[in-house]
Structures are given as C-alpha cells and as structure tokens.
Amino acid sequence: MNTLSDSEKRIGSLMARISAACIFLSFGVQVALGDPGSAGYDSATGGIVATLNYAQAFSFLFVLAFSLKLFNAEENAYFRVVDTSECKCMGLELTSWNCSALCTFS
C-alpha cells in the first residue's frame, strides 16, 4: 500500500465529507420541499438537487482518485480497471448534469 501525504489526506477527508453532506442535503431537499404527488423532475427543487448532485459527484471523484493511489492500483489490475471506469463514468455524468443544470437555470 502507498501512503498519502498530509495535504492529500486533508483534501480527501474534506471531499469525502462534502460528498456525504451533499447526499444528505439532496435527500433532505427532496423530502422537505418536494411534492409527494408528482413523479419525476420537480421544477421547484430540481435546480437545487442538480447542483447538490454535481457537487457530490465532483467531490467523489477526488475520493476515487486518492483511493487509486492509496490501494496501489497500478499493481492491482482489477482495482485499476474498476476505479478507472468509475472515474470516466462520473466524468460523463458530470458533463450531463452540468448541461441540465444550465438549462434549468436559464
């Protein structure tokens, strides 16, 4: 196993907390402000939820990137493939969320 520097530990810990907070906030917004009778996209809370989901996905990319280094993904082929594909999928989702959030706010 490789070790992380102090700054990487600090950034990784902060990003993990941001990711977890965004998950709980997104759920809370949907429960507290969402209309239980409407299915699908809610125009009242959609922009807030999309922004929280974007922040959650962005911070989770840091967690994935540091886990690559921490678990020495260069020597473990299975972990490298799974983690790299997850990073690419998250990048694609970030792009689509960014476009939908821009369309929501315009």
Residues 83, 87: Cα–Cα separation, whole Å: 6
What is the model's pLDDT at position 102?
Answer: 47
In residues, how long is the chain?
106
Given this model, what pLDDT does residue 85 score?
Answer: 77
Pull the structure tokens for residue 45. Answer: 């809370």
- What's the whole-number mean pLDDT along residues 72-77? 74
Q: What are the pLDDT digits (tens) for 48-74?
A: 888 898 898 888 888 888 887 777 777
Reply yes or no on whether the pLDDT at 24 is more than 90: yes
- Name the residue ranges covered by the structural domains of the chain: 6-105
d(CA 52, CA 24): 10
pLDDT at 105: 45
Residue 94 vs residues 14, 50, 74, 87, 103: alpha-carbon distances, Å: 19, 10, 25, 10, 14
Helix/strand/coil percentages in the chain, nearest 5: 75, 0, 25
